[in-house]
């Protein structure tokens, strides 16, 4: 095992953050839906890596299992079932894309300014916990967060029933 030095942690964080951003930009700019989906895989996987770097190893693995392994596979599956070579329209008017860029820039500037200038109660350089988080998460789900956990299962039940009804053929 290697001791995670400060430089190593910072270096890997910035690397994965950059990859995640590049992937996100790729999702938006790619002309083929399939390419967008592949860029999404890149972004989600890099996010999993940043979770791990921040000490949330369980979440990182779950992110891979659920988002990379299941959700993007479903997205790709859906794309394959749609007619081939569907390209996104050139652009839906210059006005709309300008507005999009403007809104995105505004959100970025406002949130960055706020995050940088605000007084946060906790220091940003909290040491990364060096212990497994799995057990703590399990304990939390069955004690403190038992109700939200059960509610989430109702949510999934609704999603399942609804999806079956919507997808089922009318006879």
Partner 1 sequence: MNCPTDNFICNPFLYFHLAANAIFRDHLPEPLGTIIVLALTVAMVTTLIALIVMSQVWAERRIVGFMQGRLGPNRVGPAGLLQSVADAVKLLLKEIIIPTQADKIPFMLAPLLVLVPSLVVWSIIPWGPGLSVTDLNIGVLFVLGLGGIPTIGILTAGWASSNKYALLGGMRAAAQLIAYEIPLVIVVLVPVLLAGTMSLGGIVEAQSNLWFLFFLPVGPVAFLLFLVAGIAEVNRSPFDLPEAESEIVAGFHTEYSGMPFALFFLAEYANSFAVSAMTTTLFLGGWGGPILPPFIWFFLKTYAVFFVLVWIRGTLPRLRYDQLMRTAWKVALPLALVTLGVAAIELSLIRSLLG
Partner 2 sequence: MNFNLVLLMPEIALTSAAGLAILVDAFSPRGLSRRFLLWIAGGGIAISAALALRLLGTNTSAFNGAIAVDDYAVFFKLLFLAATLLVLLAADTFMEETRHRAEFVGLLLLATTGLMLLAAAMDLITLYISIEISSLSIAFLSAWDKRGLRSTEAGLKYFLLSAMSSAVLLYGMALLYGLTGHTRLDLIATQIGQGPNAALFLALAMLLAGFGFKVSAVPFQMWTPDVYEGAPLPITAFLSVASKAAGFAATVRVLQIALPTSQTDWTVLVAALAAATMTVGNIVALVQTNMKRMLAYSSIAQAGYVLVGVAAASQLGVSAVMFYLLAYTATNLAAFIACIAIFNLTDSEQIGDLRGLRWRSPWLAFALAVSLLSLAGLPPFVGFFAKLYVFWAAADRGLLWLVLVGVVNSAVSLYYYAQVIHDMYITGIGGGEPGVGDPVTTLGPRRPSPGLSTALTLAVIGVLVFGVLSGFFFGIGDVAARTVAR
What does the binding site for partner 2 look like in residue numbers (CB under 8 A)? Answer: 110-111, 113-115, 117-122, 143-148, 151-152, 154-155, 157-159, 161-162, 165-166, 168, 170-171
Binding of residue 20 to partner 1 (CB under 8 A): no
Beta bridge partners of 32: 87
Query: Measured from the CB of residue 118, what is the shortest distance to partner 2 in angstroms?
Result: 4
Nearer to partner 1, 5 or 118 (CB): 5
Query: Measured from the CB of residue 162, what is the shortest distance to partner 2 in angstroms?
Result: 3
Structure tokens that stand for 111 in this block: 């949130």
- With vertex at residue 49, the alpha carbon angle to CA 53 and CA 119, rounded to the nearest 5 degrees, is 50
Distance (Å, whole) CA 154 – CA 148 = 10
Helices 134-142 and 146-167: crossing angle, nearest 10°? 90
Beta bridge partners of 87: 32
Query: Measured from the CB of residue 99, what is the shortest distance to partner 2 in angstroms?
Result: 14
Binding of residue 62 to partner 1 (CB under 8 A): yes
Distance (Å, whole) CA 125 – CA 132 = 20
Partner touching 38 among partner 2, partner 1, none, CB below 5 to 8 Å by kind: partner 1
């Amino acid at each position: 095992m290697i001791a995670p030095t400060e430089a190593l942690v910072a270096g890997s964080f910035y690397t994965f953050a950059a990859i995640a951003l590049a992937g996100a930009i790729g999702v938006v700019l790619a002309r083929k839906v399939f390419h967008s989906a592949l860029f999404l895989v890149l972004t989600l996987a890099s996010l999993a890596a940043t979770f791990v770097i921040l000490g949330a190893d369980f979440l990182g693995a779950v992110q891979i299992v659920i988002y990379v392994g299941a959700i993007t596979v479903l997205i790709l599956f859906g794309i394959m079932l749609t007619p081939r070579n569907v390209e996104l329209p050139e652009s839906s008017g210059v006005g709309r894309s300008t507005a999009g860029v403007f809104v995105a820039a505004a959100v970025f500037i406002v949130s960055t300014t706020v995050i940088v200038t605000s007084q946060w109660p906790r220091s940003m350089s909290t040491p990364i916990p060096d212990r497994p988080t799995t057990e703590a998460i399990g304990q939390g789900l069955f004690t403190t967060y038992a109700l939200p956990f059960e509610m989430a299962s109702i949510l999934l039940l609704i999603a399942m029933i609804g999806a079956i009804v919507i997808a089922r053929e009318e006879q």
